[in-house]
Amino acid sequence: MSEWQPKIIIFLCQWSLKSDTEWTQRFDLPDGVRMIEVSCSGRINPLLLVSTLQHGADGILVVGCEPGHCHYKEGNYLGRRKFATLTSFLEYAGLEEKRVQFAWMGETDRGKLQTMVESLLSDVRRLGPIQELATRQVVMSTAQP
């Protein structure tokens, strides 16, 4: 068996890096990291995060706009409450909450995404492959499209 490669899913608010669209496209994601753009971080159902872990992701990063800078005025504030209660709950159940991380990102936070991804990757490498919740073997190509 080949060496284990962590699978990371990034849920990225489509507005959080708006002014840097080109930069996002050029952004060279590490192997095994996939980015999914969503309309707003506040619209992410916490169950989707549990579902993502079930479907084979080893780590999740949710990126939303900084408080006060939501395109829809209040989506990220609502998201903040959902994520706070979800991570607290996962920790309570003994599931490593570090697998699910959050970041608020402003238009000027150039480079923050890479730092967050690296930090999540190192956390997930330390924790190892997810075992509790994963139900499916997902084969994810490590090659970038």
Partner 1 sequence: MQELTKAIRKEARRLLESGEVDVVIGFTEGTLPLRAAPVFIRKAIDVDRLIWGPFCENNLARYLRGVRDEKVAIVAKGCDTRSVIALIIEHQVEREKVYIIGVPCQGMIDRRIVARRVPGEVLVAHQDGDEIVVEGNGFAMRLPRSEVLYRSCAACAHPNPVLYDVLLAEPVAVWAEDPYAHVREIEQKSAEERAAYFASEAERCIRCYACRQACPMCYCDECFVDHTTPRWIESGVTPAGQQAWQIGRAYHLTGRCVNCGACERACPTEIDLVYLNGKSSKDVWELYGFEAGIDVDKPPPLAVFLPDEEPNMA
Using CB under 8 A as the criterion, which residues of the chain lie in contact with partner 1 when the complex forms? 46-47, 50-51, 54, 67-68, 74, 77-78, 80-96, 102-104, 132-135
With vertex at residue 144, the alpha carbon angle to CA 8 and CA 48, rounded to the nearest 5 degrees, is 30
The residue (of 6 and 42) whose beta carbon lies closer to partner 1 is 42
The residue (of 94 and 145) whose beta carbon lies closer to partner 1 is 94
Give CA–CA dist 29/24, Å, rounded: 10
Task: Tell me how far, at minimum, the Cβ of 136 lies from partner 1, in Å.
Answer: 8
Task: Tell me how far, at minimum, the Cβ of 69 lies from partner 1, in Å.
Answer: 11
The residue (of 129 and 144) whose beta carbon lies closer to partner 1 is 129
DSSP 84-124: HHHHHHHHHTTS-GGGEEEEEE-TT-TTHHHHHHHHHHHHH
Task: Tell me how far, at minimum, the Cβ of 131 lies from partner 1, in Å.
Answer: 9
Give CA–CA dist 79/136, Å, rounded: 27
Residues with Cβ within 8 Å of residue 75, at least 6 apart in sequence? 40, 41, 42, 43, 64
The residue (of 38 and 50) whose beta carbon lies closer to partner 1 is 50
Give CA–CA dist 20/16, Å, rounded: 9
Task: Tell me how far, at minimum, the Cβ of 70 lies from partner 1, in Å.
Answer: 11
The residue (of 121 and 130) whose beta carbon lies closer to partner 1 is 130
Task: Tell me how far, at minimum, the Cβ of 80 lies from partner 1, in Å.
Answer: 5
